[in-house]
């Protein structure tokens, strides 16, 4: 074997040994990794669930502290159930868990009972009504110091919860908590003579030229504590009528103007023209331009033509009222339609066919 061949043979053997060694090292690393869990897929922490805000009706105690479900509270001297915006069909009132503190703590108790009754069962509202249809008090178990108070529906007479503890030696003590229900609106109607914009109507046909609110009628759910409500009225054009206006060949890119918003005082003091397209604002009248487009007379005339033809079948404006009290809110939206014969086209100008007459 020549020196060159011997060199190549030794070089080849060296490479094989190096590769073999690297293979053993790689296998060793992989075994160690498997044993130690280096290659295990790490579990990602679960994404935090989006916090759901309860919109149910809540309660407050006599100091104004919010009482929420799932928390145990020392039995207050008084509490009141209050409402959120609107009670949905599947929404329940808050259940509040109360704890009776019996003193001394070492007292040998035989029985603890909770009960509920009308403060004045002979009152006009409560007479003949079963308190259990409006509020229940349920102990966690017999003789438990804790009881859950569940409001079932609005009530119009104060309810008294009584807890009574009796000792093994027949000594006894009791405590009381009165329960109220905050005032909440069930219906509102804005009146102008025989015309009414009501919260229980999806739409109203305006067959008068001017709406001047002369009376606001409120209806309430039963309650025991009064509340004061402020309100705002927002009026705006509709997408449906905007589409009608844009059907005119003379009108390009008509758009809705911002909502027209007034408070209670302004709404009662002013007259409202829901049957005009033009905008005007003075001390005695409020005429809102619900739609924005070229004020050229030909364009205006084309717009009025399309609107007058559609105003009885397409809502001209939407009327939204929102009432805000200390403990609840109430709002509604109604579509306003206009009787075609009452839809007003304003006078813009007067011209004569001839400026000079010769007789």
Residue that is last in its domain, among 181, 215, 248 = 181
The candidate with the shortest Cα–Cα distance to 220, out of 184, 250, 255, 249, is 184
pTM recorded for the entire structure: 0.68
Q: What is the DSSP letter of 164?
A: E
Domain holding 254, by residue range, is 185-342
The strands making up 95-99's β-sheet, listed across from edge to edge, are 72-74, 95-99, 146-151, 135-139
Q: Tell me if 150 is assigned to some domain.
A: yes
User: What's the pLDDT band for 348 if we cut at 50, 70, 90?
Assistant: low
Whether residue 305 sits in one domain with residue 172 = no
Say how far apart CA 224 and CA 124 lie, in whole Å. Answer: 13
Dihedral sign for Cα atoms in the order 279, 282, 287, 288: positive
The answer to whether residue 142 sits within a structural domain is yes
**160 closest CA partner among 126, 205, 206:** 126
Q: Is the pLDDT of residue 7 over 60?
A: no
The answer on 318 and 205 residing in a single domain is yes
Examine the domain organization and report whether 162 and 207 are in the same domain.
no
User: Is residue 347, in this structure, part of any structural domain at all?
Assistant: no
Q: Quickly state the pLDDT bin for 30 (edges 50, 70, 90).
A: low
- Whether 287 has a pLDDT exceeding 60, the answer reads no
122-144 burial by CB neighbour count: b if 16+ within 10 A, else e? eeeebeebebeebbebebeeeee
Q: For all residues of the chain together, what is the average pLDDT?
A: 76
How big is the chain by its Cα radius of gyration, in Å? 38
Q: Are 192 and 336 contained in the same domain?
A: yes
């Amino acid at each position: 074997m020549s020196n060159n061949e011997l060199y190549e043979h030794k070089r080849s053997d060296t490479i094989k040994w190096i590769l073999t060694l690297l293979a053993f090292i790689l296998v060793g690393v992989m075994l160690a990794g498997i044993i130690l869990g280096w290659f295990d897929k790490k579990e990602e922490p679960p994404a935090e669930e989006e916090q759901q805000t309860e919109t149910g009706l809540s309660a407050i105690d006599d100091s104004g502290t919010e009482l929420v479900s799932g928390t145990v509270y020392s039995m207050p001297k008084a509490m009141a159930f209050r409402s959120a915006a609107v009670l949905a069909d599947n929404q329940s009132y808050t259940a509040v868990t109360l704890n009776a503190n019996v003193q001394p703590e070492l007292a040998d108790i035989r029985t603890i009972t909770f009960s509920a009754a009308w403060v004045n069962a002979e009152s006009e509202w409560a007479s003949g009504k079963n308190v259990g249809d409006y509020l229940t008090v349920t102990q966690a178990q017999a003789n438990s110091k804790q009881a859950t108070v569940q409001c079932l529906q609005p009530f119009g007479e104060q309810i008294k919860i009584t807890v009574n503890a009796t000792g093994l030696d027949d000594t006894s003590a009791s405590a009381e908590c009165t329960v109220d229900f905050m005032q909440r609106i069930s219906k509102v109607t804005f009146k102008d003579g025989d015309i009414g914009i009501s919260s229980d109507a999806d739409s109203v046909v305006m067959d008068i030229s001017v709406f001047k609110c002369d009376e606001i009628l409120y209806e309430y759910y039963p309650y025991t504590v009064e509340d004061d409500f402020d309100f705002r009225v927002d009026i705006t054009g509709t997408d449906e009528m905007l589409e009608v206006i844009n059907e005119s060949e003379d009108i390009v890119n008509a758009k809705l103007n911002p909502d027209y918003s007034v408070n209670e005082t302004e709404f009662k003091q002013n007259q409202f023209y829901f049957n005009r397209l033009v905008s005007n604002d003075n001390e005695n009248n409020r005429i809102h331009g619900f739609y924005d487009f070229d004020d050229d007379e030909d364009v205006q005339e084309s717009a009025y033509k399309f609107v007058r033809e559609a105003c009885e079948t397409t809502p001209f404006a939407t009327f939204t009222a929102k009432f805000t009290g200390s403990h609840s809110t109430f709002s509604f939206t109604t579509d306003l339609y206009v009787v075609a014969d009452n839809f007003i086209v304003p006078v813009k100008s007067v011209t004569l066919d001839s400026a000079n007459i010769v007789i």
